[in-house]
Every structure is written in structure tokens, then in C-alpha cells.
Structure 1
Amino acid sequence: MIDQKFLKSFSPTTKQPIGPCAFCQEGHLYINEAEFHFGEDLSSETYRDKVTDPDNDEGFGWDPDYYTGHFAGLLLCNKCKNKTSISGETRLVLTVDKDSEDYNQAYHIEHCTIKSISPTLKLITFPKSPKFNWTLQTILIKSFDLFWIDNAACANKIRTSIEILLTDLGIPKIDSSGKKLNLHTRIEEFKKINTPIGELLLTLKILGNVGSHSNTVIDREDLLSAFEVLEYVLIELFEPKSSKIQDLSDKIRKKYK
């Protein structure tokens, strides 16, 4: 799972990495200052000037929460030097630092929230097993794209990935009479084989249903939790640690029998 510190807002002047490189998967992405731009929206600036104008009888002051802005630019991988395009929204965040006399000094600085990044960041680690097919990978990558811009659509793509996963695991899509089986029924069939993992898939299906058929707001934290559960499911199904541990145990016993 990607370090969640990369998924939070960041200062446009930060020297810290914004995220891992999706191209080489070894380096980290840093702001390329010469190709990174940010600033306040014209509408926000105009409104601020209006409400702070001393000659404006309707002026009632300005609050940092009224600020809106945008950013766009390129990130540079420190390993392969590949460039990643990024854009999103900026807002003002209250920051408190100590001054030279150890007193608290409060001020507001701009922070960036990602809305688009290409190539997209891989939010979870894929199993390396050849049984983990390309179709499932493609759907998950689409869900990573949607994570930044549409939470409900992202949850829906997670639901779609479960449908594909069950097909890969041999769970039929139709019954003996030719009737199409819904996702819940297919998960119940899988639970006969692996109850713990089946219960986790049921949880992901519930979130996916909310994204597909409900007006309930899904936040990023819920999506990140879902991705973490999904990553665990995939590892357990395609690269189970229990089988690896058993292989190591058998190897030791065989060697020192």
C-alpha cells in the first residue's frame, strides 16, 4: 500500500517527495520548480478585494476559508528522470511555528490537493504471480485514476474488480438454469471455499454498492481503507504468506531431517 502521507495535501514549496514514481517504481517524484505553477483564482482574488475594500459599505471582512486556487505542473523522478503531470486545487492552511524567542507564530500558507496525476500513482502493490491477470490490473489502475476526481466512481470500479476477481477464481456468473448470478450470490459461493476472504469481499461490495446506487458521500479515507483490504485479499489469494512460510518450514525439515 502506498504511504498515505503522499495522498494528503502538500505545500507547493516542499522539498519532500510527492509520491513514488509509477514509471520505474523505484524513485520518488519531486516538484520541478521550473515547471510548477500555482496561485489564487481570479474569482477568489476579486472577492477578497471587494470584501476588504474600506470604501465598500457591504464589506464584512475576509476569511482564509474563502480562498480558492489551482496548481499545475510537472514532477520529476529522482531515479529515472521521468516526468509526471499533476494538477489540482489549492487552499490556505493554518500553520504554527516557533519564532526565534520560542513564541508561537501563526500564519497561512497554500497547500495543494491532487485532482489529476498522470501516469497515476499505484495505490496498492500488485501480486507478482502470473495468475494475477492483466484485465484485473487494468480495472484497478482505472480506479486509481478515479480516486483523485470521483470517489463514487472509484468505489464502483473496486466493485467491478471484485466481479473480475471472482471470475478468475472460477466462480460462475450464471447458475445451472442459465440465470445470471448477482455479485452477492457469487461472493456467498466463494465463501464456501474461503470464508474469511469472502467476508472481506462482501465488505468491498457494500462500499461499491454505495458508489453505484446511493447518494451517500464516500470520502477518501474510506477508499483508502478499501484499497488496503483489497491489497490484503489479492496477496492472500495470489501470494499467500502462509504457503510461503510452510515451504520454508518444509525446506528446513528436509535439510535437517
Structure 2
Amino acid sequence: MTERFVCFLVCGNKVCGEVVAVCGRVTHEHHEQYEEDVGRMVSFDSTYYVPTQMYPAPPVFALSTRLKKDLAAHVRKAFELLWVDPASCANRIRVFLEFLMDYFEIPRSDINAKGEEYDLKLYHRIERLEAKKPGHKKTFNALCATSGTMQAIPARRSLKH
């Protein structure tokens, strides 16, 4: 039998108090383990409530008040998608990073040695941003890795035979 739950949570921050609607699935597990202090096996049942949707979605991290509203909207949408579809959440983070690169006027394309235009990968755009505004590369690369966009980065590892 499939079990589901629905509930409302209230933010404990006195200046907030926002109400969040939560729904998800319920799972049950039976556990048995040896307890040294009683000298025997004990068994117990656990119930787990796994959220699959939250509205409004709680922020995963604080957003800068200096972040433009249209850019912040992409991150807030990622917060919502985290509970419903983590892959879509990761993609929304990638979209946010691309628009952030646009905001900092990091080009989307370049010209190769043959004089042909090509699209820059996000990690190349991040490297260019680092040259222009140092100090963000590590964070942006972590966000890229989370969103699965770093797969094309050449691996720098030593090979042992």
C-alpha cells in the first residue's frame, strides 16, 4: 500500500512565521540490531516522511539582496524544483549561471584559430569571469558540478601504471 502525507509547517523565525504546505510519501522500515547495553537483539519500526513538494519552497541558501530580481527568480525556482525534480532543479541552476555570466558581460561565444565562431562552455565562461571578477570560481564550479554541467571539463589527474 502506498502512503502519503500532507502537512503545514510554520517557520520558527519570529520575524518570518511563514506557513509552508508540504506533501510527500511515507515509508516504514523494520530494524533489528544488537544492543550491547541490554545484551541482546532488539527490533523496532521506523516511519519516514519523505517530502516531494513544498510550497512556498524554503530557500536552500540566502540570496544576496544585490542580486537582480530576474536572476534571483531562477534561483527561487530551483528551490521549488529541488523537492519535485532534482534534475530540473540542477538545470535551473545552470540557467541561472548562464544568465549571471551574461549579466557580467562574459561572452557566450568566441572565435577559434580558424576564424570560426563557437559556443563557449559554461566552465570556460566561469574561467573568464574569474579573470574579470576573481573570487567566485570555486563556488560557481561547485554549482556547475551539482547541475551536471561540468562533465565536459578535462580531467587533470595523474595516471599510475
Both proteins in one fold, TM over 0.5: yes
Q: Give the share of equivalent positions with the same residue, in percent.
A: 23
After superposition, residues 167-186 of structure 1 pair within 5 angstroms as 167-175=102-110, 180-186=119-125
Match of 1:208 among 147, 151, 159: 147
Runs of 4+ off more than 6 Å: none
Please tell me whether residue 86 in structure 1 is matched to residue 25 in structure 2. no
Match of 2:81 among 146, 160, 172: 146
Counterpart CA distance in 2 for 1:171 and 1:210 is 17
* Higher RCO (Cα < 8 Å, 6 or more apart): 1
After superposition, residues 89-108 of structure 1 pair within 5 angstroms as 89-94=25-30, 103=38, 105-108=42-45
Please tell me whether residue 71 in structure 1 is matched to residue 5 in structure 2. yes
CA 1:74–1:152 in structure 2 vs 1: closer, same or farther (change >3 Å)? same
User: 2:21–2:56: 8 Å Cα contact kept in structure 1?
Assistant: yes
Unpaired segments of 5 or more residues in structure 1? 1-43, 45-67, 97-101, 213-257
User: 1:154–1:211: 8 Å Cα contact kept in structure 2?
Assistant: no
**1:155 matched residue in structure 2:** 90
User: 1:76–1:82: 8 Å Cα contact kept in structure 2?
Assistant: yes
Unpaired segments of 5 or more residues in structure 2? 152-161
Match of 1:112 among 49, 58, 64: 49
Please tell me whether residue 125 in structure 1 is matched to residue 65 in structure 2. no
Encode CA deviations 1:206-237: one digit per residue, 9 max, x unaligned. Answer: 4423599xxxxxxxxxxxxxxxxxxxxxxxxx
Counterpart CA distance in 2 for 1:172 and 1:94 is 55
Match of 1:192 among 121, 126, 131: 131
Encode CA deviations 1:99-136: one digit per residue, 9 max, x unaligned. Answer: xxx7485321322011001111100011133xx11112
More helix by share: 1
CA 1:138–1:185 in structure 2 vs 1: closer, same or farther (change >3 Å)? same
Larger radius of gyration: 1
C-alpha RMSD over aligned residues: 3.3
Query: Match for 2:21: what amino acid?
Result: S
CA 1:133–1:115 in structure 2 vs 1: closer, same or farther (change >3 Å)? same
Query: Match for 2:7: what amino acid?
Result: G
More strand by share: 2
SS at match of 2:84: coil
Counterpart CA distance in 2 for 1:187 and 1:211 is 11
Aligned residues: 140
The Cα shift of 1:146 comes to: 1.2
User: 2:122–2:149: 8 Å Cα contact kept in structure 1?
Assistant: no
Normalising to structure 1: TM-score of the pair? 0.45
Encode CA deviations 1:136-191: one digit per residue, 9 max, x unaligned. Answer: 21111111111112121111111111112212223123447876534233123123
SS at match of 1:192: helix
